[in-house]
Amino acid sequence: MSTVDAPRSPYARTQRSGTNWEKWGWMYMRASGVVLVVLIFGHLFVNMVSGEGVRAIDFAFVAGKWASPFWQVWDLLMLWLALIHGANGMRTIINDYSSSPVLGKVLRGAVFASAAVLIILGTLVIFTFDPCPSVSPDQLGMLPSFCPPQ
């Protein structure tokens, strides 16, 4: 059974050379956390508080936002930073709690695969989004005002 080292026991370096990925992961969690506070609260304020508030959110609202490269980059950063942050956090939890090395590998693989799929799909949605799709006449009102008449 393993025990926790006494608080004043000497620091035992387990890795002598090469990149210390655990250290960079630790730094990434803090740096991305700070940036995410700005991105998430900015996102919530613009979508739910400013202007008409939450009642304004519909297809045209999203289309209008993604017509601007500023909001495309904002949402892209939020997507990438939050998913990498969440996946790395889940990796830490799996390392701490998984009872067998094989289970740990499987769970880390599942977290990595789901984060990768969501990052790829989300990025595609942001950059291939069509703000003016062809719709039936009764749905024309849902399109943004800048779409040409159909």
- Sign of torsion over alpha carbons 50, 56, 62, 66: negative
The only residue of 27, 37, 44, 113 in contact with ligand HEM, by rule CB under 6 A: 37
If the CB atoms of residues 63 and 82 are measured against ligand HEM, the closer one turns out to be 82
Return the structure tokens found at 37: 């506070």
Positions in 52-111 near ligand HEM (CB under 6 A): 82, 85-86, 89-90, 92-93
For residue 85, give both structure tokens: 């942050």
User: Do residues 99 and 139 lie in contact, with contact meaning Cβ atoms separated by under 8 Å?
Assistant: no
- Give the shortest CB-25-to-ligand HEM separation in angstroms: 9
Determine the Cα–Cα distance for residues 114 and 84; give it in Å rounded to an integer: 11
**Binding to ligand HEM by residue 29, rule CB under 6 A?**
yes
Decide: is 33 part of the binding site for ligand HEM (CB under 6 A). Answer: yes
Cβ(74)–Cβ(116) below 8 Å: no
- Closest contact distance (angstroms) between CB of 47 and ligand HEM is 16
User: Which residues bind to ligand HEM, rule: CB under 6 A?
Assistant: 29-30, 33, 36-37, 40, 82, 85-86, 89-90, 92-93
